Amino acid sequence: MELSGWGRYPRHSSNVVSPGSPRELAMLQRHIPTYVARGNGRSYGDAGIGAGVTLDMRRFDRMKGFDETSGLLTVEAGVLLADLIDRFLPRGFFPAVVPGTRFVTIGGMIAADVHGKNHHWVGGFGDHVEALKLMFPSGQTVRCSRDENSDLFKATIGGMGLTGTIVEATIRLIKVETGWMGQNTVRAENILSAVQLLTANEGASYAVAWVDCLSKGNALGRSLVYLGEHVSLDALQERKPGAPIYPNTRGRGIAVPLDAPGFLLNRHSIRAFNALRYARARTKDELVTWQSYFFPLDGLDQWNRLYGRRGFLQYQFVLPHQTASRVLPEIMGEIATSGNPSFLAVLKTLGKGGGQLSFPMPGVTLALDFPISDSIFSLLDRLDRLVVEGGGRLYLAKDARQRPETFEAGYPNLSIFRQQRRAIGAEGRLASMLSKRIAV
Amino acid sequence: MTTQPGTALIIGGTSDIGRSTALVYAEHGWKVILTARNDEEGLREVNHLLTASQAKAELCHLDILDTESFGPFINSLDTLPNTVVCVVGMLPTQSRAVADTAYASLSLRTNFEGPAILLGMLADRFEKRGTGTIVGVSSVAGNRGRASNYVYGSAKAGLTAFLSGLRGRLWHSGVRVVTVMPGFVRTRMTDGMKLSPFLTAEPDEVAEAIYEAAELRHRDIIYVRRSWRLVMGVIAAMPEGVFKRVKF
Ligand SMILES: Cc1cc2nc3c(=O)[nH]c(=O)nc-3n(C[C@H](O)[C@H](O)[C@H](O)COP(=O)(O)OP(=O)(O)OC[C@H]3O[C@@H](n4cnc5c(N)ncnc54)[C@H](O)[C@@H]3O)c2cc1C
Ligand SMILES: NC(=O)c1ccc[n+]([C@@H]2O[C@H](COP(=O)([O-])OP(=O)(O)OC[C@H]3O[C@@H](n4cnc5c(N)ncnc54)[C@H](OP(=O)(O)O)[C@@H]3O)[C@@H](O)[C@H]2O)c1
């Protein structure tokens, strides 16, 4: 069957099997020559497409146990973040780290060591994993944690499914008093002032900037910086008396029913949208629901169809602080002059990564969306060179096209990671289209 | 007409429809007892219920083919449940069921004999107590035997008739009997089949419909997707001379 990631590019054919129990999973793994696990397919490129077979993990969707006092929750790897929040937010618990969509699986979040808008402060999702159960190609299952099989644990956090199939994980949830967020919006004149604002506000629990990539000159990369805090019960009752403490958790949003014509998201429509958004932004402090703060895009189901049949690329890089102020404006300049429009551009600061192949490093990350076009690939090749030269790297969960050299240059722990793979018999057995493309 | 939360016994706790139903009862504050023949899989479901819903939940071992064990099983329950929902079933491959008598017998017993005997025994206890609700998950396949699945269909027809008779016997004793016709449902049972989206329900939808019919609206027979009533109306109206020639 033809499979793709969220960007719908590239598409590859792969045999999909959906095991229903650990026993069935072990049996399948022993018999299938090469495969990789897949969660909910929310990585953008080819990470979740098996070279040969793809093991769909979504039937591993049972929760196993929860301890109120420690906040430790054990779940199977195919549990959706959305279901976890549905069940635990009304009890006053929230995941310590969430990505920009809640339609991801716990296994997928660990495999990509996803970062939230609070990485500078709490680390990645992997930093809140206490322990995991990992299944090797032989069908053997091992437990790993920071104390037990710790090297394998660090290889698996951010390891993109290439060190074994995560079957189960124990993660730590944080306590929240309400499902509301206090949001402060601050305008930044250009990309560098956005970076400054983000670093100056590292005391905020959550911080993210939305960047306008089509503005030019002095306004190159003008941004809106959103700072967020969980709202206490007292503050909610004072500011929104009578509001539900945990606003609506169910519901999937409105669906985009068909592929939009490819021209819908073009330079002009995006420029108009950006200008409107920037002009309308209010700087005052407001209370918004957890959904609209963390997952604004989830309100529109299958929004990836807006990019038309050809799909789109997501390009996310990180640059260390030392080079970011020099290289970021260069990158923004390249994009603006190339005329390739990016509808979404999101800027965050990151701290140290927790796993051997984790994407984060102390620095600044920018994520961009580009519709597939003839000129986009050469633009991104040029950007790759700037990123590598600046000591940065690209996020594997978003990648669909980087070359092995770019990958090797960005991930210095690659050789230890390869050793781990050899040690558990993963070489040649565990492979995704991503791992083949970038020669992991 | 809402019922106070009580105890629900789900026969077939590892089925996709059964586990959705268990979760709906649990979310309404009921205590849930699940049965499974595979204890490892049963434990997964009970742990999920306990973790996801904070309800009380227990697991009991039960094989629907082992009719001898039904008496001891019922006696082992701490309290007699308020509601029992039986979802156990098996969809055989028709061609194999025609050729292999042991296989045909397995399907007949799993879909009819086991559920009917177990529900009959629970009905007697409920009748003595004077309250209780019995929910049997049957199938539209039992409404009329079709060439392509009559081994399954005839067993479900037996179950439907059994439930109908039971309802008649018990209606004045305070015990209610609900027959559920799910139509197509996207579950393990129908995995890989091409099903019309209009006629196919999700397991949660069936679970909600069961809860509503059994505990809120007190219905006798439900078709989860209303469109099925129409389809089955047309099928019932066909003269046998025509029906036997139709291939479906
Ligand atoms: C709208 C949107 C916003 C996003 N925002 C962010 C963000 O803010 N921060 C961020 O970090 N990411 C973000 N992402 C990316 C997303 O969080 C990651 O790609 C995540 O890995 C997707 O999880 P999934 O379950 O869909 O996994 P898939 O996409 O199916 O798989 C991703 C990787 O995980 C592996 N994997 C999946 N399940 C298992 C398992 N059980 N065992 C072993 N390996 C497994 C796969 O092999 C693959 O390599 C965003 C994605 C979208 C679509
Ligand atoms: N899916 C549909 O389209 C559809 C349509 C109409 C009616 N139905 C009916 O709905 C009910 C539930 O089906 P489903 O779709 O949820 O399918 P399912 O997931 O395959 O469930 C079947 C259940 O029956 C259990 N079972 C089979 N033999 C058993 C035995 N000897 N002892 C104990 N348990 C046994 C299975 O247990 P194991 O897990 O151990 O195998 C499983 O829990 C069935 O009665 C089915 O006929 C389904």
Express as a percent the part of chain B with pLDDT over 90: 91
> If you take atom 11 of ligand 2, which residue's CA is the nearest one?
B87
pLDDT digits (tens, 9 = 90+) for A173-206: 999 999 999 999 999 999 999 999 999 998 999 9
pLDDT attached to residue A405: 98
A64 touches chain B (CB under 8 A): yes
pLDDT attached to residue A232: 97
Burial (CB count within 10 angstroms: exposed 0-12, middle 13-18, buried 19+), residue A255:
exposed
B189 touches chain A (CB under 8 A): no
| Mean pLDDT calculated for residue range B183-208 | 94
Q: How far is residue A317's CA from residue A126's CA, in Å, rounded to a whole number?
A: 19
Which ipTM score applies to this complex? 0.92
pLDDT attached to residue A337: 87
Q: Nearest 5 degrees, angle CA B61-CA A170-CA A176?
A: 110
A66 touches chain B (CB under 8 A): yes
Q: How far is residue A29's CA from residue A4's CA, in Å, rounded to a whole number?
A: 22
pLDDT digits (tens, 9 = 90+) for B100-145: 999 999 999 999 999 999 999 999 999 999 999 999 999 999 999 9
Tally of CB atoms within 10 A around A323: 17
pLDDT attached to residue A251: 56
Which chain A residues in 68-87 lie under 8 Å from chain B, judged by CB atoms? 73-75, 83, 87
Cα–ligand 2 centroid distance for B142 (angstroms): 15
Nearest CB to A62 within list B44, B53, B191: B44
C-alpha torsion sign, points B223, B228, B234, B240: negative
- Residue A282 reports pLDDT greater than 80: no
Q: Which of B73, B87, B155, B160 is nearest to B122 (CA)?
A: B73
> Considering every ligand atom, which ligand is closest to the CA of A302?
1
> If you take atom 19 of ligand 2, which residue's CA is the nearest one?
B15
Mean pLDDT of all residues belonging to chain A: 93
User: How many alpha carbons fall within 13 Å on the CB side of residue A140?
Assistant: 7
- Residue A281 reports pLDDT greater than 80: no
Give the position, in ligand 1's atom list, of the atom nearest the Cα of A434. Answer: 49
Q: Pick the more confident residue, A281 or B148.
A: B148
> Considering every ligand atom, which ligand is closest to the CA of A51?
1
pLDDT attached to residue A250: 64
Query: Which residues in chain B are contacts of A63 at CB distance < 8 A?
Result: 47-48, 51-52
pLDDT attached to residue B48: 98
CB A408 within 8 A of CB A55: no
pLDDT digits (tens, 9 = 90+) for B104-116: 999 999 999 999 9
Cα–ligand 1 centroid distance for A398 (angstroms): 9
Mean pLDDT of all residues belonging to chain B: 95
Mutate to test the interface with A, among B40, B47, B189, B204 (most CBs of A within 10 A): B47
Q: Which of A371, A272, A232 is nearest to A312 (CA)?
A: A371
Q: How far is residue B141's CA from residue A232's CA, in Å, rounded to a whole number?
A: 55
pLDDT attached to residue B2: 54
Instruction: Report the gap between the CA of B187 and the closest CA in chain A (Å).
Output: 11
- Residue B94 reports pLDDT greater than 60: yes
> If you take atom 39 of ligand 2, which residue's CA is the nearest one?
B14
Nearest CB to A21 within list B41, B53, B191: B41
Q: How far is residue A266's CA from residue A263's CA, in Å, rounded to a whole number?
A: 6
- Residue B67 reports pLDDT greater than 70: yes
Query: Does the beta carbon of B45 sit less than 6 angstroms from any atom of ligand 2?
Result: no
| Mean pLDDT calculated for residue range A246-252 | 72
Cα–ligand 1 centroid distance for A42 (angstroms): 5
Query: Which residues in chain B are contacts of A173 at CB distance < 8 A?
Result: none
Q: What is the SS3 assignment for A312?
A: strand
C-alpha torsion sign, points A265, A270, A272, A278: positive
Give the pLDDT band of residue A303 (cuts 50, 70, 90).
Answer: confident
Query: Does the beta carbon of B112 sit less than 6 angstroms from any atom of ligand 2?
Result: no
Instruction: Report the gap between the CA of B51 and the closest CA in chain A (Å).
Output: 5
Cα–ligand 2 centroid distance for B112 (angstroms): 12
Pocket perturbation via mutation, ligand 2, pick of B9, B17, B20 by most ligand atoms within 8 A of CB: B17
Instruction: Report the gap between the CA of A253 and the closest CA in chain B (Å).
Output: 18
pLDDT attached to residue A261: 60
Query: Which residues in chain B are contacts of A20 at CB distance < 8 A?
Result: 188
pLDDT attached to residue A309: 86
Q: Which residues contact B131 (CB under 8 A, 6 or more apart)?
A: B82, B174, B175
Give the position, in ligand 2's atom list, of the atom nearest the Cα of B140. Answer: 6
CB A115 within 8 A of CB A126: no
pLDDT attached to residue B156: 98
To which residue do tokens 């973040």 refer? A81
Q: Which of A249, A267, A307, A261 is nearest to A102 (CA)?
A: A249
A252 touches chain B (CB under 8 A): no
DSSP labels, A35-97:
EEEE-SS-SSSSTTSBSSEEEE-TT---EEEEETTTTEEEEETT-BHHHHHHHHGGGTEEES-
Considering only A257-271, A336-350, A375-389, which range has the smallest mean pLDDT? A257-271
Instruction: Report the gap between the CA of A171 and the closest CA in chain B (Å).
Output: 14
Q: Dihedral angle at the C-alpha atoms of A274, A278, A280, A283, nearest 10 degrees?
A: 150
C-alpha torsion sign, points A145, A147, A149, A153: positive
* CB-based contact A21 B50, cutoff 8 Å: no
Find the distance separating the first CA and the last CA of chain B, reported in whole Å.
41
Instruction: Report the gap between the CA of A1 and the closest CA in chain B (Å).
Output: 13
| Mean pLDDT calculated for residue range B137-166 | 97
pLDDT attached to residue A283: 63
pLDDT attached to residue A326: 96
Give the pLDDT band of residue A249 (cuts 50, 70, 90).
Answer: low
pLDDT digits (tens, 9 = 90+) for A200-242: 998 999 999 999 887 778 888 899 999 999 999 999 999 999 9
To which residue do tokens 């199939």 refer? A165
> Can you point out the beta strands (E) in B29-126?
31-36, 57-61, 83-86
Cα–ligand 2 centroid distance for B18 (angstroms): 8
Give the pLDDT band of residue A271 (cuts 50, 70, 90).
Answer: confident
pLDDT digits (tens, 9 = 90+) for A67-92: 999 999 999 999 999 999 999 999 99
- Residue B28 reports pLDDT greater than 60: yes
- Residue A354 reports pLDDT greater than 70: yes
Query: Which residues in chain B are contacts of A91 at CB distance < 8 A?
Result: 54
> If you take atom 14 of ligand 1, which residue's CA is the nearest one?
A99
pLDDT attached to residue A389: 98
Find the distance separating the first CA and the last CA of chain A, reported in whole Å.
24
Query: Does the beta carbon of A371 sit less than 6 angstroms from any atom of ligand 1?
Result: no
| Mean pLDDT calculated for residue range B200-204 | 95
